[in-house]
Every structure is written in structure tokens, then in C-alpha cells.
Amino acid sequence: MNIADRFTLSRIVLSPVFFLVYFLPAWSNVSPSLTVWVMIPLLAFMEFTDFLDGFFARKLKQVSDFGKLFDPFADVLVHLTTFCCLVISGYMPGIVFMLILYREFCMNFIRMMAIQKGVAIGARKGGKFKTVLYVITTFYCILMESCVRLEIDVSGILGGLDIGRVILIVLCLIAAYASFTDYLVHFGSLIKADKKN
């Protein structure tokens, strides 16, 4: 396993760790404020490895078909994990999470179909933009949760924060299906070919 794939693997390993840290106060006597100083750096590191794996893959000329599949798989695992935390905490509506979950599973199906045809689908611009929105939305909501855990009074601006949260979540959903449509347009022929067979 090359260095780029190791950075990708770290996201997969750390995703359940983030989930455990996030809910640790509910399951134990650990102070909620203490978890803030762990989950935010942990989330930042996981997202930074997404940059690092691509950077080293290009720099060391280690771009591979495996990496093109492994990287988006790790991304999906991270984002579905963090979104699940947001749903349970009430920051994201469950229906939005389910729609995003369906999108990601359908995208995974297309990637598997493409592999059967010898095509490894890498991230397109729409997919990358969607990922950026996922990251921004996650950090935004985690920072809101951190204010609660640190007992920082944001009641005066809570209305504005909630509006921003809703806007970001809606944009995530739109970007998710817009990028999915883009993948269907460019790689839908792989599915059609199998239907004819």
C-alpha cells in the first residue's frame, strides 16, 4: 500500500473513532467540553488527509484505479458518519440524510458497474464541489455543537446560525443530486450496455 492509500485508509479507520468521541458524553461521564478539543482536530485531520492522498498520488506518480475507488469510498464513509452524528443531534433532518445516503449508494453502484467494464470512475468537478459543501456544512454544524458543549451563549445570533445551517444543508442536497446527474450523463452508457445484454 503506497503512502497516498495509507492517508486514505486513515480516514476509514478514524471515522468510527470520530463517532465514538462525538457521543462519548452521552455514554460516559466524560465532560462534553473535553470532546470539543478532540473531535474538531480529528475532523480537520481527516479532511486534510483527503488533500494529502491526492497530493502524494500526483507528486509520486502513484495515481491508480484502486486509488480512484478507495478515495471516494473513504470520503463517503467520513461524511455519512459525520452526517449521522448531525441527524442524531438534530442539526440535519433525517430525510435529507436518507436522500444523501441513497445518492451515495447509487453512485457506488455505478462505480461497481464501471469496474466491470474496466473503467475506474474518478472524482469529477461536480463531485468535488459537493464534497467541499459537505465539509463546510459539517464544520459549521460541529462548531454550533461545540458552542453548546463549551457553554458559549449564542442565543442572540441563534436565528441567523440556524438559517445558515438550513441553507448549507439544502445546498448539500442540491449539489449531491446535481453531481449524481452529471455522473449519470457521462457514465450512464455503462449501465445501458448491460441492460441490452
Q: Which tens digits make up the pLDDT trace of 149-189?
A: 999 998 889 899 999 999 999 999 999 999 999 888 887 77
Cell matching residue 32: 462534553
> Looking at residue 5, what is its pLDDT?
87
Write the DSSP symbol of residue 159: H
Cβ contact 85:92 at 8 Å? no
Give the separation between CA 20 and CA 85, rounded to whole angstroms. 10
Is the model more confident about 86 or about 54? 86
Alpha-helix runs per DSSP H in 28-157: 32-59, 65-89, 94-116, 125-149
Task: Out of 89-98, 163-172, 188-197, pick the least confident.
Answer: 188-197
At 21, the pLDDT band (50, 70, 90 cuts) reads very high
Task: Out of 128-132, 137-141, 167-171, pick the least confident.
Answer: 128-132
92 pLDDT higher than 80 = yes
State residue 119 phi and psi, 5-degree precision.
-115, 125
> Looking at residue 193, what is its pLDDT?
55
> Looking at residue 190, what is its pLDDT?
66
Task: Out of 49-58, 111-120, 143-152, 169-178, pick the least confident.
Answer: 111-120
End-to-end CA distance of the chain: 36
| Other residues' Cβ atoms within 10 Å of the Cβ of residue 16 | 11
Give residue 6's identity as a one-letter amino acid code: R
